[in-house]
Each structure stands twice: as C-alpha cells, then as structure tokens.
Amino acid sequence: MDENKLHLSPPKQMLPQRMDSGGPYRLLHCSGLGDKEGVMQELGKGVEPNLVDYDRRTALHLAASEGCVEIVVLLLEKGADVNSTDRWGRTPLSDACNFGHKDVCKILGAHGGYDPLGDSPTPCCIIDHGEVDMKDAALIGEGAYGEVYLVKWRGTEVAAKTIRASIASNPMVKNAFLKELALWQKLRHPNIVQFLGVLKQSDRLIFLTEYLRNGSLYDQLRKKGRLDPLTAVAYALDIARGMNYLHQHKPHAIIHRDLTPRNVLQDEAGHLKVTDFGLSKIAQQKDSYGYKMTGGTGSYRYMAPEVYRRESYGKSVDVFSFALIVHEMFQGGPSNREAAPETVADKTAYEDYRPHLASYIFPEPVKTLLRECWHKNPDRRPSFQEIIERLEKIYETMQDKIVLGTCCSCMIL
C-alpha cells in the first residue's frame, strides 16, 4: 500500500455553515475564543447561557474544548448546564478530557460534571495488523474520508477503509468515529454492509468491512445508465429494507444522513447493501464557532431541504435522499446533471425544485411514491416500512404484467 496516499487532500465540504457570529450566537463565538469580555457582554444582554448551536453544543462545550478556564467558571456561575449533551452525546467534560484540559476537567468534575464516553474502553473489535496482508493492497476508490483498499484478512478479501490522518489525528473525532464503528459492528442485516473490525494501529484509523465486488450503485448507473423498471424496483426494495432496519434500531433510530448512490454497494448475488451510515456527521472541521459539518460535495444532490437549511431534522431526511436515488435508477443518472450539486441543493431547499417525472419512464404508482418521499414537509414523507409495503405491491404488479405480456418496459402500471 502506498503509505503517502494516506495523507492526501483534506476532506471536501458538504454542508454550508451559515451561523454568523452576530446575534446571540456571539456568546458561543466568544466562548470558543476565550474572550471573557465578549462572554460577559452577551450574558449581560440576557443571552441564555445554555444557548445551543446546530449540533446542540453550548458555550460551555466550546470553552471546555479550548481549555478556557475563566470562561468555564463564568458560565457555570451564570447557570450553564454542566452536563448538557451535544448531538453526539458529549458533555463539556467529554470535550475537556479529550483535549487533555486537566484544570477544566477538575472544575467541571467539582460541579457534578460527568463524561458518558470516558471510561468505556473502545468496544470495537480490534484486528491485529499481522492478520491483514497489506502487501498486495489494491486501491479500490477514494472518498471524503480517505482511500479504500482491497486487502486479505485471514485469507478472505475484505475492504480496508482508511481515515485520513487530518481527520483521525483529532482525538475527539477519532473517538466519535470509534463510537459510530462500535454501533455499526452490532448491526446485522442482508442489506447493510458488514463491519468487521478496526485495525490495531496507533497513528491512523483503518477499519475493515466486507468487500462488495460489484462496486457502488453510482458506478453501475454510470456504466449502464437507466435500469429496467423491475430491477430498479428490486434495488429500491433492497435499499429500503436496509434503511428500515437502521431506522427501527433500538433504543435509538440510526439516521444515515448521507444516503447517496456512492454509499450503496452491490454484492455478487446482485443485492444492494447500504454503507457508511452515521459517519457523515463526524467528518467535521473545527472553526471558531465549534464544529462544522463537512463531507463529499456529491452528497448535496441528495440532501433534504431541511438539512441544507440547517433546521432540525429526523429520519425522513433519508427518505428524501432515497427518493432521489430511485429517480436516478429509473432515469439513468441525476437530472440537472450539468448543475453543480450545491446549486441543486439550494434550488431544492429554497425554490422547491424537484426532478421531472416523465410519464414514459415512471409508472404511476412510482411517481406517486416519489412525490411523497421528497415532500417538502418531512412529516408527510412515508416511513421505510410503508415504502417497502408499497414497493412490494408495485413489484408484484410489474411481474404479473410481464408474465401476461402486457408490460412493455413498464410504462403503464
């Protein structure tokens, strides 16, 4: 394996960061910068000390991450919640510990702070480096986080995903990755790519998953173009089943947040499997406000409007992305292909743009389903459970018509 490949380009941008440093958010901005006067001014104006940003990070999270002792003390005096948890379940103490700010840890601890991530040893299955034959590693592809290699583990071909040093060298980000991987490790479903373990290496992060010989749906659509309708519906069912499993995960639903044709892989039997769920939220870049979401620019095309507008969101963001993928399978690629993905996301979010559903390509029940799945109101989008039921009916009807010889490339259903 080419060692230098592991230090290539920085992660690509995915989500816009629109939070400005004015208004009440100046409290967060000043806290991260250690600007005590600014923090006092904002609190003096009556800004709520537990104000949160998009990732539910408070001023105390930011001050603790930066080791700003005075700000931490001040915020606690003013009533900041010592154990507020951000989107990833981290408390201010988790952040202070991760960055080794011992003084801040002591202060937070004395105020009843706890670190829910702290004591738990990494629950990921650790694979010894000696078990993996890296000599003949072949580069399969490259994504926002790093390269993917085909390697042999205990004699079996597996995919080794490397996380760039620029991302994995941040202990907090590495921990967050390991937490997501530990969750992935517990999942078992025919339409979910199987996680195998993390390679024992101190300086970088590499994890193994099953290898899917047929590559991604993205590659397939580029090679083959439009799929025949029955195959498109069968593939849609595969994705919906994998996603339904994630959404019905207990005690908390797993939201993919980056469902795209690149994150759907095909096994030798022709079935599709979903991969890389949960990881998109971790690739972050730190800026003066805290953490900003990043990722592959291609993902913009599939982004639900509420995510692009940085509003609160839920499981149905994946239903939105799913609809665009299904549309591409019927059509052979994205509509508006020539437009930049970010421009498409902007039009989708602010002008209610949706791809055209040509009647000669899309059967009526598929059209209806897609319109519901990409509905602008997230509450009006169906669940994956419902999508599966409807797709199964569509699939059966299509098969019947093929048997009867009345479905010619399935224009009418």
Ligand X SMILES: Nc1ncnc2c1ncn2[C@@H]1O[C@H](COP(=O)(O)OP(=O)(O)OP(=O)(O)O)[C@@H](O)[C@H]1O
Annotated binding site for ATP: 161
Round to whole Å and give the CA distance between 83 and 354: 42
Rounded CA separation 103/80 (Å): 18
164 binds ligand X (CB under 6 A): no
User: Is 224 buried (19+), middle (13-18) or exposed (0-12) by CB count in 10 A?
Assistant: exposed
Query: How far is 255 from 276, CA to CA, in rounded Å?
Result: 11
Sign of CA dihedral 333, 336, 340, 345: negative
x/- map, 221-260, ligand X, by CB under 6 A: -------------------------------------x--
Q: How many CA atoms lie within 13 A of 146 on its CB side?
A: 25
Nearest distance in Å: CB 281, ligand X = 12
Q: Please list the active-site residues.
A: 258
Based on CB atoms, which residue is closest to ligand X, 59 or 264? Answer: 264
Asked if residue 277 binds ligand X (CB under 6 A), the reply is no
- Please state the closest distance from residue 373 (CB atom) to ligand X, in A: 21
- List binders of ligand X among 187-226 (CB under 6 A): 193, 209, 211-212, 215-216, 219
Q: Does 341 bind ligand X (CB under 6 A)?
A: no
Distance CA 199, CA 407 (A): 50
Site for ligand X (CB under 6 A): how many residues? 24
- Residue appearing with tokens 């590499």: 206
Any contact of residue 143 with ligand X (CB under 6 A)?
A: yes
Q: Which residue is nearest to ligand X (CB)?
A: 143
Pairing outcome for strands 126-127 and 195-199: parallel
Q: Residue 91 or 209: which CB sits closer to ligand X?
A: 209
CA–CA distance, 361 with 337 (Å, rounded to integer):
18
Cβ 258 to ligand X shortest distance, Å: 6
**3-class secondary-structure state, position 391:** helix
276: contact with ligand X by CB under 6 A: yes
**Amino acid, single-letter form, for residue 175:** N
Q: Residue 186 in 3-state DSSP? A: coil
What is the C-alpha to C-alpha distance for residues 149 and 158, in angstroms, rounded to an integer?
Answer: 8
* Beta carbon of residue 271, minimum distance to ligand X (angstroms, whole number): 13
CB 306 within 8 A of CB 312: yes
Nearer to ligand X (CB atom), residue 101 or residue 256: 256
Residue 267 Cβ vs ligand X, minimum distance, rounded to whole Å: 9
Q: Binder to ligand X among 65, 263, 284, 294 (CB under 6 A)?
A: 263
Which of 136-144, 164-172, 198-206, 330-338 is the region at the interface with ligand X (rule: CB under 6 A)? Answer: 136-144
Report the binding-site residues. 161
Using CA atoms, how far apart are residues 289 and 28, in angstroms rounded to an integer? 6
Q: Which of 262, 292, 315, 327 binds ligand X (CB under 6 A)?
A: 262
Map the footprint of ligand X across residues 94-123, applying CB under 6 A.
none
Residue 99 and residue 171 in contact, taking contact as beta carbons nearer than 8 Å: yes
Residue 54 near ligand X by CB under 6 A: no
Residues at the contact surface with ligand X, assessed by CB under 6 A? 140-145, 148, 159, 161, 193, 209, 211-212, 215-216, 219, 258, 262-263, 265, 275-276, 295-296
